[in-house]
Structure 1
Amino acid sequence: MSSLHQSFAVVGGGKLGMPIVKGLSAQGATVVLLSRSGLDDTKLETLPAKVSVAKVDTADSAAVAAIFEQHKVDVVVSTISSGAVGAQTVLVDAAKSAGVRLFVPSEFGMSTEGDVNNPKNKIIAYTESVGVPYARFFNGMITEFLPMLIGVKEHGKVRIVGKGDAPVSFTSIVDVTGFVAYVLTSLAPSELENRTFRIEGDRATMNELGGIFNTEVEHVDEISGPMGGFATMMLRIVDTGVGSTGWDAEKKAEKTGSEAAGSANGLWPGHHWKSIKEVHNL
């Protein structure tokens, strides 16, 4: 089949899910949004008129498959939280049962390819095992979340753990979600199947963030505060190099050519990718 995908199901209506829903609808696609708890009136009011909402237990494969069949879904896009990525096997099973043509797992972050112990990579292996084609998207860090990670608003300077010399890919929410919606509705199915898309809005080392935010960089052993444990973990991870969307986990080096960081950017012709400075009005 060579026709473009027309019908989409998006699982999760959060910071990434909702913009993807709106982006797909703007491209003329038919969209159903699946939510375990439904949506409040505020979110419902912001949805395009043609978008359907289905309240369903996403742990019930048969119930999810029934919705996919009802809406004749071509593509399932999962945007569930990172803590629940393992549960996506239910969505994959439902997709297989309903004859869905493409599954987009909840990646939307740093490269996991080749990391056999990563739960996100295990979902890819499971998807392959049941014979459902996939498309995965690596965007590095979400640019909007950067100040929280480095504590620049709280401390007036950039606080990092580690050497801070490894390049990191940063991509804004609008660029991530816009790209996903564009390529899923613009590329032929054969160009999407079992493919990894590596995008990058901006690129910098953690040390270089001092100059970008016009402040000093402070190296610490760990980040304190309510989210300190998470921030410390993330900073240690990116210090290994994995923060770049072109990172090769097996070779511990940057990929090149068609697999390099930002190599998929050109698939969105004429688009301007937002820099760190533009996102944060620096």
Structure 2
Amino acid sequence: MNQMPIQLVVRTYQFFCSIKLTVTLLLLLVADLSLGYICLQGKVSLFQPMNEVGLSQWLLTYARSQPLDSAWFLLLLPLLSLLGINTLCCTGEKLYHLVRSQHTRLPANRLWLTLSIHLMHLAMVLLLAGYLTSYTLSTIYPSITLTPGLPLTVPGSSLQVELLEMQMIPYSRNRLIPFLGRNIDVNAHLLFKDGKEQVHATLAMNRPVHIHGFSFFLQRFNPTRAGGMSPSQYIIFDIRRDPGVLPTFIAMGAFLTGLFGYLFFRHRTRKRLEL
């Protein structure tokens, strides 16, 4: 009776170590993403609120209201989870055998080449985990308005932010007539205060600000046109506290390290074989 749980764990582990499972999951992912490409046509706006409300709230609201259009995404989540577990088990199995076979004295270039490949596999799993963490555990404060001279306190903290100045960036070309005279971006100069600490930063459309664990993302600004009907100045931004940022960047660095290691030691291994 005591061996039953152990046998179940061993069989489960062997199941996830299967290369056949890897191939099956990859084929299912290709089919699911192909379906997703079709479903996304003209319906991208269905998934945009996920950045503001998080995955769990999005599943309970937007996905629930449009189940047919979001069905491919609901299938994508378990497929990626299974692929991540499969990758971890396969990589762990290979590393275990690699350690046990060290008595065979594998050539150094070959050893580092193999380790580089496994590092890329582990980095991909960590990258998926980082993204999942970002969309499930992040604290999001959407659509916060800030005007010059009226500081506000970031929710859940003692950090204050004040808009000091807005430098408008107008459209400077003549190719798109509807954009003539419009402001296409802004450099919003912010002052952050936390006790005696003061930090200056510049927020723009594609340049978020990261400070004290919070990330500020600019969504809209005003005025959008010089001499327009609404001359008042303000910016609207989202605030995120994202615990998935650190593992995501670590995963990117690890993947690049593994990739460069693979290319370097692959070249050295080939050169050694040619000699």
TM norm structure 2: 0.24
Instruction: Give the number of the structure whose residues are more often helix, by fraction.
Output: 2
TM norm structure 1: 0.24
